[in-house]
Amino acid sequence: MRPARGQDRAGLTLVELLVAMTVTAIVGAALIQIILAQNRSAGTNEAWRVARAVSRGSLNRVLADFRIAEAEGVLDPAAAMSSTSITLRVPFAIGVACNTTVPLTASLLPVDNTLWAASVAGFAGFAWRDEASGTYRYRTTSTTVSTVGPAVCNAAGIATLPASAGGGTAGRVVQLGAPSMGTAAPYASLVPTVGMNVLLLQQVRYRFAPSVALPGATALWREVLSGTPISEELAAPFDSTARFRFYVTGSTLAQDAVPSPRTLTRGIEIHLDGLSETAPLGSTAPKRIGLTTSIFFKNRHD
């Protein structure tokens, strides 16, 4: 038998090897492009998610304070205010008046004990509803609050709600001290009637200001200014377009200017324009989500 010739041995020629390497390089480059595109897409989606979370993260807290506010007295008339900083008088407890003199005794609806302790630490005064006009009269100077017995309310025929059978929180009877029950002229002689609504208040400021958590960024802050001050950074970062706008009586469009007088305020338009913390791969700027919501105050006498 004749031995096999060299040209009969199995193998690849140089041309075949070059073709295989070229095809492999093309396929590899395509795969790399696909992976990079997926990474860019994932980074972009994550940036959008972060920006959306910033916009929505503080919304529930804002709505909780704004929705329970009383229309004509919600904006503190003595506080500095702008499109990036507003100060509210926010009710944290509601009850009814048991007498008409100073100090005012009121029977309150149940408030969770933990919330009550935190809220009383930031007590900023109270308001009572004038029966004749339906408007609230505010007492926010040299005011005090203390828990007392039910004798005054019992004498007025007003029962304070007991704790539920399951051990829930009971109502409270409180004594509200103030220099007088009246307000500025021509209301100086007004006093509440027994059974009129009484609101206990906190002074709360919302503002867009520099962030502590993300230096160089803008954050939304919630600050309790009265009593024991509390400052809380709700979310960051926000775009420079984030702001507050004001609805006033007689207009359907929000305005940038703070209403004058502030009792004309009927609602707030809030621009919570959130940003991602960084620019995603392939972008030169962070992603931005524009979120706008409007809150109209329903507790009005008109």
Nearest CA-CA partner of 141 in 84, 74, 89:
89
Exposure of 5 in the CB half-sphere (CA atoms within 13 A) = 2
Q: What distance in Å separates the CA atoms of residue 262 and residue 283, rounded to the nearest whole number? A: 43
Q: Please report which confidence band the pLDDT of residue 191 belongs to, taking 50, 70 and 90 as the band edges.
A: confident
Q: Give the per-residue pLDDT at 147.
A: 94
Over residues 48-63, the mean pLDDT reads 86
Tens of pLDDT, residue by residue over 115-134, are 899 899 999 999 998 888 88
Identity of the highest mean pLDDT range in 47-51, 136-140, 254-258: 254-258
Mean pLDDT confidence for 231-259: 93
Evaluate if residue 24 carries a pLDDT over 80: yes
Residue 145 in this model has a pLDDT that exceeds 70: yes
Higher-pLDDT residue of 7 and 138 is: 138
User: Which band of pLDDT confidence, cut at 50, 70 and 90, is reported for residue 98?
Assistant: very high
- Structure confidence at residue 71 (pLDDT): 81
Give yes or no for residue 298 having a pLDDT over 70: yes
Of 205, 275, 204, nearest to 236 by C-alpha is 275
**72 phi-psi bin (left φ>0, alpha ψ -120 to 50, beta other):** alpha
CA distances from 109 to 71, 104, 106, 163 (A): 21, 16, 10, 11
The average pLDDT across 144-154 equals: 94
- pLDDT digits 0-9 by tens, 203-213: 999 999 999 99
How does residue 22 score in pLDDT terms, banded at 50, 70 and 90?
Answer: confident
Residue located via tokens 């007025």? 156
Q: Which among 96, 287, 102 is positioned nearest to 197, based on CA atoms?
A: 96
pLDDT category at 269 given cuts 50, 70, 90 is very high
Residue 265 Cα distances to 135, 221, 245, 299, angstroms: 14, 22, 10, 12
Q: What are 185's two structure tokens?
A: 């002229």
| Residue whose C-alpha is closest to residue 268's, from 24, 118, 63 | 63
In order of 39, 47, 277, 286, the CA distances from 50 in angstroms are 16, 5, 7, 10
Which has the higher per-residue pLDDT, 156 or 180?
156
Find, among 38, 47, 36, the residue nearest to 280 by Cα. 47
Region 143-150: mean pLDDT is 94
**pLDDT > 90: what percent of the chain?**
46
Would the pLDDT of 47 be above 70?
yes
The kind and range of the H/E element at 46 are helix 14-57
**Model pLDDT, residue 97:** 96
Residues in the chain: 302
pLDDT at 301: 63
Mutual angle of helices 14-57 and 59-67, in 10-degree steps: 20
| Confidence at 5, pLDDT banded by 50, 70, 90 | low
Half-sphere exposure of 242 (CA within 13 A, CB side): 30
pLDDT for residue 300 is more than 80? no
pLDDT at 150: 93
Q: Pick the more confident residue, 20 or 201.
A: 201
CA distances from 143 to 78, 123, 178 (A): 16, 9, 5
Residue 119 Cα distances to 122, 204, 239, 241, 270, angstroms: 5, 11, 31, 32, 25
Identify the pLDDT of residue 3.
Answer: 55
Q: What is the mean predicted confidence (pLDDT) over 147-176?
A: 89
Flag whether pLDDT at 183 surpasses 60. no
* pLDDT at 7 (0 to 100): 57
